[in-house]
Structure 1
Amino acid sequence: MTSENTPDSDIQEEVPQDSPASIGQMLREARESQGLTQAQVGSRIKLREALVKDLENDHFDNIPNNTYVKGYVTNYARALDLELAPLQKRLQEQLVHTEHGMKSFSRKTSNKAAEQRVNWISYIIILVLIGLSVLWWLQRSEQAANPDFSQPTQEEIAAQEQDTNLLDEAEALLREANAIEQKLSDEEETPAAPAEEQGDEAEPQTEEPPHTVSLEEVAEQPELAQNLAQLEQSAAEQALVSLRLLADCWMQISDADGAMIVNGLKKSGHEIELAAKTPLKFVIGAPQAVSLSIDGETVDLSSYQDTVARFSYPQSES
């Protein structure tokens, strides 16, 4: 019987293995050959049964560090009186392969985490930009809905500056006219040279009244006359507009050049005074809420009750 079994065992030993047994398989086979359970081995090496199962199943990722794995395997082998050298060699080969896989997995995990952080940062930046855009739009809407009527508009400021320039030009022309008039008066008051005596008695000279220079004479000066004419023409084309709001009202007023001098909603109690070049065009949304006068004369808006007032000043002749 013994001679017959020996060839079979030799044949089995000569059968090549596809791959070497893992460290877990080697430990499990050694334990089972001695008829021990996992709990008994764990009791000998002071390990929980779950850790013994992880060692035999090669689940080293459940163990915090490879140093612990090496220590557990060494204790396991000593508890079963196994030879350490082949076990440690196989364990080292297996751990190298496991570490390479873990590093690849760690790199993938790190790259994925970095991508997720970049994505989250991008989302946060986009949300902040959207929030700022919404805030800016709300502020613009609030400003448009509640304009500050306590400050003059750009059209009113432009009209006031135009009035100031006209007054400055008028004062300059008057000063120039007064200077010319004074100069002419001084020339009239200068005494003439004495006349030659004719005879024993000189005839008494009649005293002439002083010559007064009128604006018409001043106007005879070419340059000054041109300036006065331009000033008179500019003043004639200007109209003084006075508005007082009895209630909130939307309106538009444009001058002869098409420039919009008043535009938008005006609040109750708001007053406007401006000078503008005629003809003027008016569009008043609520005529009953407006008191209007042009050049000191009140404009009757009663015919525009319950409708938008659209008219020009001065009225065009039909």
Structure 2
Amino acid sequence: MNEDNTQPQSDEPSVGQILKTHRENANISLAKIASLLKLTESQVQHIENDEYHLLGAKTFVKGYIKNYCRTLNIDSTAILAMLPAFSTSDKPVDMQSFSRRTEKEAHDSRLMTVSYLILAIVIGSSAVWWWQNATPIDEQTNTINANNSFITQQQENTKRLAEAADEVQLDDVEPEQQTNSASQNEQQTIQAAPLNDAQSTSEPTNTDLSTIFMMFNDESWVEIHDANDEKIAFGVKKAGYEMTLTGVAPFSVVLGKHDVVSITLNGEPVDISAFPKNRLAKFKLPLAE
């Protein structure tokens, strides 16, 4: 009789078994109860199998069981009193996994932010470099063209003023003075003739002249002055244009795009590849060694 009385006591259902029985009596599936409790099916199975050590700290286990009882309309006080004592030092497995995932996502987010920042800096630096190297030729060419046009206009105005002044002076001279001036001019011409012959011998001969030949492989701006500072070439030359110039060396040369121009001086090729690209090239011909 004693054995029959003690045996039922040892076979009392556990908390997990009680909850499982109520769930099955309510005809609620494992997936459904897991969805209502916002837990995974494996966590619900751990509760029904009394595997509390796999669920984390005791505080979390009590919370899960309270929600379970509330969902099934069961009094949770008696159920919680049946919980066995277990260590509270265990940390929730799922919480660890979630924490690590959150930390990894935060790390990846910071890494992506730094990567985008570096990419923006590289793109911005490239844009500034391109702007600095692409615009100076056009700007400098336009500035030089404007300055030269202004100087040419000033020279023309000065010439016209001088011609007008000469005409006014000639109109004010009396006929006798004009006659005297004419005779004086004839005498000066006769006296200056021998000097002109002497001076002609000092003028440069063909052997003193140098010849420049230029081939333009692409459109480029050019300006050339000879040793007497006389402008012998100026303007924009189209691709395929060939130009031959003769004058007294040394020549002062300015090229907008020197890398598209081939130059020979007196039949000898001139190497101008050392000048920086995307900049106006200013040099003397022949090149100084």
Q: TM-score, normalised by structure 2?
A: 0.40
Q: TM-score, normalised by structure 1?
A: 0.37
